[in-house]
Amino acid sequence: MKKVLFPLLIVLLSGLIYLNYLAYKSPKEDKIISQATTYSLTELDQLNLKLYANRKTAFQEKEAINNLFLHNVEQTKKLTVEIVEIKKLQNYSYLSDKYTCYSYLLELPSLDTHFFINEAYLTIRLKNGHECSLFIGSFDYYRKSSNLDLVELYGTRHPDFPALDSVSFKFNLAEEIFLDHLFISNKVRVYLGKSLASDELLTVILPAQNQISDCLVLKLVYQQNGQLLTEHLPYYLYYETWENPLNYGLINYVYLLS
């Protein structure tokens, strides 16, 4: 009897070990990570949006994508965009998974007015009908207004978070202007309330933000000769982040692809 049971036990144990091996080797769930970011640009700019995937799927293949659009959660505001290209960038680790960064370069339609979505989503719809909707942060799209002669522009990053901490600018002016507000986005603005002379460098400390704000257009509202005017500071990369961008879990939105 023992001679019969022992080989059977060996077979059962071997089977369990093999099943565990198969479970360990089985494909991981496909995931995409988007990050809360302040997107702000004009009709002269293209939208560069980064997504992170733990495995390449059709959502990273330009030829597999039917259409893309930006929208609010209710889809009462919607903007269809055209995909120019998808680039594979660096690899990063997050919560014991490996992710590859993909850069989506998107062409925006021409609009006559300021279009904004305070809580914006990107929906990617494939040609096979599958789609995913990803939270991306805030989105502002301006019709460019530029009347002032900008001679200097730079910014600093917050030391503990990948957001713009301060911005400095200088104009060559024929006469003094009065600065009202500086808009980072439609939902984040800073009251200035001061006069600015020609070649005067102004540094503005920005409020704390819970979104990436590295590359964007800033809107400056000012008064000159009794008129309220708008100046769009150019689309500009204010800082670069060299560490793992997925380290900031607060801004990561992880989606499972079905």
82-127 pLDDT, tens digit each: 999 999 999 999 998 999 999 999 999 988 889 999 999 999 999 9
- Report the pLDDT averaged over residues 48-77: 96
What is the C-alpha separation between 250 and 3, in angstroms, rounded? 60
Q: Does 3.40.50 match the CATH number of domain 31-143+243-256?
A: no
Kindly state the average pLDDT of the residues 229-257. Answer: 93
**pLDDT confidence tier of residue 14, bands split at 50, 70 and 90:** low
pLDDT at 254: 96
Is-contact 143 230, C-beta < 8 A?
no
| Distance (Å, whole) CA 175 – CA 193 | 17
pLDDT at 5 exceeding the cut of 80: no
pLDDT at 45: 84
Q: For position 144, what pLDDT does the model report?
A: 82
Q: For 15-148, list the strands marked E by DSSP.
A: 31-35, 37-42, 47-53, 65-71, 78-94, 97-107, 115-126, 131-142
Helix or strand or coil: residue 249? helix
Please give the angle made by the CA atoms of 190, 191 and 195, to the nearest 5 degrees: 125
| Segments of the chain assigned to CATH 2.60.40 | 31-143+243-256, 149-237
pTM: 0.85
Structure-token pair, residue 77: 């505001």
pLDDT score for 24:
37
Whether the Cβ atoms of residue 170 and residue 24 lie closer than 8 Å to each other: no
Reported confidence tier of residue 143, pLDDT bands at 50, 70, 90: confident
Confidence of residue 139 (pLDDT cuts 50, 70, 90): very high
pLDDT, tens only, 194-212: 999 999 999 999 999 999 9
Mean pLDDT of 148-177: 96
Is the pLDDT at 28 greater than 50, yes or no?
Answer: yes
Q: What's the CATH architecture for 149-237?
A: Sandwich (2.60)
